[in-house]
Structure 1
Amino acid sequence: MEWSKLLNGSRLNEADYEEQPHRPSYVRDLDRIVFSAPFRRLANKTQVHPLHDHDHIHHRLIHSVETGSVGRSLGMQIGHWLEQNGQIPSGGKHTVSGVVQSACLAHDIGNPPFGHSGEAAIGSWFQERFITPSGLFTEMDKILRSEFEEFEGNAQGFRIIANTEMYRGAGGMRLTKSVLGAFSKYPVSAHVKASVDENYCGTKKFGFFMSEAPVFTSVAADLGLIEQKAKSGSWWRRHPLVFLVEAADDICYNILDIEDACTAGDLSFETVKGALAPIAGSNTFLDGKSEEEQVSYLRAKGIGTAIDACVEAFKENYQDIMSGTFTSSLIESSTKAQDFQNLKDMARRQIFKAKRKTELEVSGRNVLHRVLTGVYPIYEALGKVGWDAERLQGYNPQLVRALGLELRGVTDAYSALHSLTDYVSGMTDRYTVKIARMVSGT
C-alpha cells in the first residue's frame, strides 16, 4: 500500500471539493463528526456501566473524545516518523494525526443503547424471528440475515457516516476517503466474512452492510487497499491507520474501565493501583496523594507509556502492516501486551459480571425487545400498502409521528429492517426506556 493513496483527501460524493488552506480536510471531517446528531447522542449511551448516577463514569461520548485524543498523539508520532523516513511529505504528520483523530471520534458512532449487550439484544430479537419467519422475515434473502442476527455496531457506524447522516443516500457526512478507510476496522461484509478461510484480524467481525458495499468498494479502490477474494466475494486488508485507531481504543477502554470500576466501587483502590502500576512504570511518585489522585496519576502515566509502546510496535511491524500481512493488534505486539491482558482478565472477572451491571443488561435486553416488537408492525403495514407511507392508516401514522420515524428510502423488506435497526440503534439509553414504555403501554 502507498501513502499517496492511503491519505486520499477527496470526499465521498463531493467531486468538486477543494481543500482550503486555512481549513485542512481533516479539520472539516472533525467538525462534521462532532456536530452530528449521532455523535451528540453518544453522551447518553453506555460505555460499560449502564444508566449510572455517578457523573464521573464514562459514557460513549467521553470515551470517544478521549480515544480521539490518544489517536491524535499516536498519529502525530507515527506521522513524524514517516516524514523522517521520506514516506510522506513534510507536514504530512498533521494529516495523519487528523485522520486518526477523526476516525477515533467516529469509531463508536454506530453503537446501540446499553453497550455491547445492546448489540447482542438486537441480534437475539432478529434471531428469534428468523427461526419461524413470518411477514417481512419471509422475504429476506438468507445470505443477508446475518446482518441482523449478528447486529454489528461497526457496520452501523459505517452506514451512518457514509450513507444516512447529513447527505442521506448521497455520501452521508461526505468525509474524506482516508478517514473512511481508517474508520473501517473490519473491511468485509457479513456474508463474505462467512466464507473467508483465513485467520485475519480484519475479518473477526464485519464492517459494512450489503447496502453500503458499493460505497466501501469504491473507497477501497481509491485508497489502494489490498483486495482479497473469498467464495462469496471480495474483502480487503486493513488501512494501516486502522491499527492506530484500534490502539487508541484499546488503550482507553482497558485503562479507563478499571478507573471507572474504582469510582463505581466495583474494584478496591488497592486492586486498581496494583493493576495500573505495571503499565505506568516504576518511576511513579504517589507519596502524599489521595487515592483518587493516585489513580488519576497512574491512569495518565499508563496512557502515555502505552502510546509509546504502540508507536514502537507500529515501527517494528511496519513492513507487514503495509503489505497487509500483520494480523495482530499493536497492543498485543507491544512490550505492554501482558499488562493489558491482565487488565482484560480482571475486567472480565470482576467488572463485566458485577451484579448491578448484569441486572441492567438483562433489563436493557428486555427494553430493546419491547421497542423492536412495538415498532416493527409499522414496517409490516408499510409493506402491505406498497411502501407508500402516505397510505398508512389508523394507529400506524400516529405512531410514526410520535416516534419521529424516518421512512424515506424504505422500499422492500431489507431496507425496512435496516430502517428499524437505524431507529433503535440510534437511541440513547434513557430514550429507549421511554419509548419502550410508550409502545408497550407499561
Structure 2
Amino acid sequence: MEWNRLISEERLGDKKLSSQASRSIFVQDHDRIIFSAPFRRLANKTQVQPLYEHDHVHHRLIHSIEVSSVGRSLAMRIGQWLVEQKLLNSGEEHNLANIVQAASVAHDIGNPPFGHSGEDAMGAWFAEQFAAGRGLAAEVEQDLRPEFTAFEGNAQGFRILTRLEMRRNDGGMRLSKATLGAFMKYPVTAKTRAAVKAAGAATYVGLKKFGVFSSEEALFEDVATTLGLPEEHIGEQKWWRRHPLVFVVEAADDICYNIVDIEDAFTTGELSYKEVVDILVRAAKPRDASAGDRSQAEHVAMLRAMAIGEAINNCVEAFKAHHQEIMAGTFSGALTEVCEMGPIFEDMRKLSSDHIFTARRKTELEISGRRIINNVMSGILPVFEDLAAVDWHAERLGSRSQQLVRALDLDLRNLSTPAEALHSLADYTSGMTDRYALRISKMLSGH
C-alpha cells in the first residue's frame, strides 16, 4: 500500500468538493459526523456501565470523543515519524491526525442501545424469525441471513455513514474515502467471510467479524479501489486487507475502553481503590505513585491520564516496529497486544471480565435490554409485513400500520425486497437510544 493513495481526499459520491485553506476535507468529515443525529444519540447509549444510575460514568458519545482524542495524538506522532522517514510530505502528518480523529469519532455510530448485548439481542431476534420460517424472514436468501443473525454494529455504522445519513442512498455523509477506509475494521461481507471460513483461511484479523452489509459492498469496493487496499478472492467473492490507519483507530479504542473502564469501575464501586491504583501504576509508570493530598478519585484520574499517555507511546513504537507488515497487509495483530504494555492490557481485560462485565447491574441491564428489543422489533415487524403485502406501496397500508408509521416516524422509502425491509427494521431499532427503546417498548406492549 502507498501512503499517498491511502490518504486520498476524494469523497464517496462527490468528487468535486476540495479542501479549503482553513478547513481540510478530513476536518469537514469530522464536523459532518459530530453534527449528525446518529452521533448525538450516542449520548444516551450504554458504553459498559448501565446509564442513569450514576452521572459520572461514560456513555458512547463521551467514549467516542475520548477515542478520537487519543487517535489524533497517535496518528500525529506516527505521521511525524513517516515524514522523518520521507514516506509522507511535510504537513501531511496533520492529514493523518484528522483522518484518524474523524474515523475514531464515528467508530461506534452504528451500535444499538444497551451496548454489545443489544447487538446480541437483535441477532437473536432475527435468528428466531428465520427459524420460524414465516413472513418476510422466510423470503430472505440463506446467504444473507448471517448479516442479521450476527448483527454487527460496525457494518451498521458504515451503512449510516455511506447510505442513511444526510444524502440517503446517494453517498450518505459523503465522507472522504480515506476516513471511510480508516473506519472499516472488517472489510468483508458476512457471505464472503463464511466462504473464507469454510475454506479454512479466516485467520486474518480483518476477518474476525464482518464489517459491511452486502447492500453496501459496492460502496466499500469504490473506497478500497481508490485507496489501493489489497484485494483478496475466494471464488467469485472478494474481501480486502485493512487500511493501515484502522490499526491506529483500533488502538485508540482499546486504550480508552481498557483504561477508562477501570476508572468507571472504581466510580461505581465494582473495583476497589487499591485494585484500580495497582493496575494503573503498572501502566502509567509514574515517578511518584503516591496520592499526596489528592482524593482517591483525583488520584485515580491522574493515574488514568498518565496510563493513557504511556499507552500512546507504546502503540506508536509498535506501529513503527510493524510498519512494513502493516503496509504489506500481512500484520494481523493489535497494537495494544504487540506493544510493551501488552501483558498489562491483558490483565486489564481479565479484571474487567471478572468484575465488570459480570456485575449484577450490568447483567440486569442485559436481561431487560433483550426484552425491550424483542418487544420493539416484534411490535414493528407487522408494518413491514403489511408493506410487502401491498407490494411495497406505503400509501396502501392499512389503518393500524399507518398509525404505527405516524407514531414511530418510520422511514419506509425505497423498500422493495424482504432483505431491505428487515434492514430498515434494524436501522430503526439500532438507531434508538436506551431511553427511547424503553419508551417505545412500553407503548407497543401497552404497559
Band the TM-score falls in, shorter-chain normalisation: over 0.9
What are the residue-to-residue correspondences of 1:168-247 with 2, within 5 Å?
Answer: 168-196=168-196, 197-231=201-235, 233-247=237-251
- Ranges in structure 2 where 5+ consecutive residues have no aligned partner: none
Alpha-carbon distance, 1:360 to partner: 1.3
Q: Report the 3-state secondary structure (helix = DSSP H, G, I; strand = E; otherwise coil) of the residue aligned with 2:195.
A: coil
Indicate whether 1:351 and 2:356 are aligned. yes
Q: Deviations over 1:204-242 (max 9, x none)?
A: 001100000000011100000000112461011100000
Structure-2 residue corresponding to 1:403 = 408
Which residue among 327, 330, 337 is the counterpart of 1:325?
Answer: 330
Over the matched positions of the two proteins, sequence identity in percent amounts to 54
Alpha-carbon distance, 1:282 to partner: 4.1
Counterpart amino acid of residue 264 in structure 2? D
Structure-2 residue corresponding to 1:28 = 28
Indicate whether 1:295 and 2:335 are aligned. no
Structure-1 residue corresponding to 2:59 = 59
Q: Report the 3-state secondary structure (helix = DSSP H, G, I; strand = E; otherwise coil) of the residue aligned with 1:332.
A: helix
Counterpart amino acid of residue 179 in structure 1? T
Which residue among 265, 271, 287 is the counterpart of 1:267?
Answer: 271
Larger mean Cα displacement after TM superposition, 200-209 or 276-285:
276-285
Structure-1 residue corresponding to 2:252 = 248
Larger mean Cα displacement after TM superposition, 238-247 or 267-276:
267-276
Alpha-carbon distance, 1:53 to partner: 2.3
Report if the CA contact (8 A) 1:118-1:365 is conserved. yes
Distance in 2 separating the partners of 1:108 and 1:374: 26
Distance in 2 separating the partners of 1:398 and 1:343: 49
Alpha-carbon distance, 1:4 to partner: 1.0
Distance in 2 separating the partners of 1:52 and 1:326: 41
Structure-2 residue corresponding to 1:341 = 346
Distance in 1 separating the partners of 2:236 and 2:264: 43
Which residue among 297, 309, 314 is the counterpart of 1:309?
Answer: 314
Distance in 2 separating the partners of 1:201 and 1:232: 22
Report if the CA contact (8 A) 2:9-2:18 is conserved. no
Report if the CA contact (8 A) 2:129-2:137 is conserved. yes
Alpha-carbon distance, 1:17 to partner: 1.2
Larger mean Cα displacement after TM superposition, 58-67 or 15-24:
15-24
Distance in 2 separating the partners of 1:329 and 1:408: 40
Distance in 1 separating the partners of 2:127 and 2:228: 36
Indicate whether 1:362 and 2:360 are aligned. no
Report if the CA contact (8 A) 2:71-2:100 is conserved. yes
Q: Deviations over 1:114-166 (max 9, x none)?
A: 00000000000011111121000111000000000000000000000011100
Structure-2 residue corresponding to 1:104 = 104
Distance in 1 separating the partners of 2:253 and 2:8: 23
Structure-1 residue corresponding to 2:398 = 393
Distance in 2 separating the partners of 1:86 and 1:360: 51
Counterpart amino acid of residue 284 in structure 1? D
Alpha-carbon distance, 1:84 to partner: 0.8
Report if the CA contact (8 A) 1:191-1:232 is conserved. no
Q: Report the 3-state secondary structure (helix = DSSP H, G, I; strand = E; otherwise coil) of the residue aligned with 2:32.
A: helix
Alpha-carbon distance, 1:265 to partner: 1.0
Q: Report the 3-state secondary structure (helix = DSSP H, G, I; strand = E; otherwise coil) of the residue aligned with 1:195.
A: helix
Structure-2 residue corresponding to 1:69 = 69
Counterpart amino acid of residue 310 in structure 1? C
Larger mean Cα displacement after TM superposition, 117-126 or 10-19:
10-19
What are the residue-to-residue correspondences of 1:3-152 with 2, within 5 Å?
Answer: 3-152=3-152
Q: Report the 3-state secondary structure (helix = DSSP H, G, I; strand = E; otherwise coil) of the residue aligned with 2:169.
A: coil
Alpha-carbon distance, 1:290 to partner: 1.1
Counterpart amino acid of residue 311 in structure 1? V
Q: Deviations over 1:12-59 (max 9, x none)?
A: 111211221121111101110010000000000000012332111000
Distance in 1 separating the partners of 2:349 and 2:112: 22
Counterpart amino acid of residue 202 in structure 2? E
Report if the CA contact (8 A) 1:50-1:361 is conserved. no
Alpha-carbon distance, 1:192 to partner: 0.4
Distance in 1 separating the partners of 2:80 and 2:109: 29
Counterpart amino acid of residue 399 in structure 1? L
Indicate whether 1:379 and 2:384 are aligned. yes
Q: Report the 3-state secondary structure (helix = DSSP H, G, I; strand = E; otherwise coil) of the residue aligned with 1:241.
A: helix
Report if the CA contact (8 A) 1:382-1:392 is conserved. yes
Structure-2 residue corresponding to 1:420 = 425
TM-score (norm 2): 0.98
Alpha-carbon distance, 1:421 to partner: 0.2
Distance in 2 separating the partners of 1:284 and 1:163: 51
Distance in 2 separating the partners of 1:114 and 1:309: 32
TM-score (norm 1): 0.99
Distance in 1 separating the partners of 2:50 and 2:414: 33
Q: Please identify runs of 4+ aligned residues in structure 1 that moved more than 4 A.
A: none
Report if the CA contact (8 A) 2:193-2:202 is conserved. no
Report if the CA contact (8 A) 2:111-2:153 is conserved. yes
Structure-1 residue corresponding to 2:284 = 280
- Ranges in structure 1 where 5+ consecutive residues have no aligned partner: none
Distance in 2 separating the partners of 1:231 and 1:328: 26
Report if the CA contact (8 A) 1:188-1:203 is conserved. yes
Counterpart amino acid of residue 293 in structure 1? E
Alpha-carbon distance, 1:284 to partner: 3.2
Q: Report the 3-state secondary structure (helix = DSSP H, G, I; strand = E; otherwise coil) of the residue aligned with 1:234.
A: strand
Counterpart amino acid of residue 113 in structure 1? P
CA RMSD of aligned residues (A): 0.8
Counterpart amino acid of residue 401 in structure 2? N
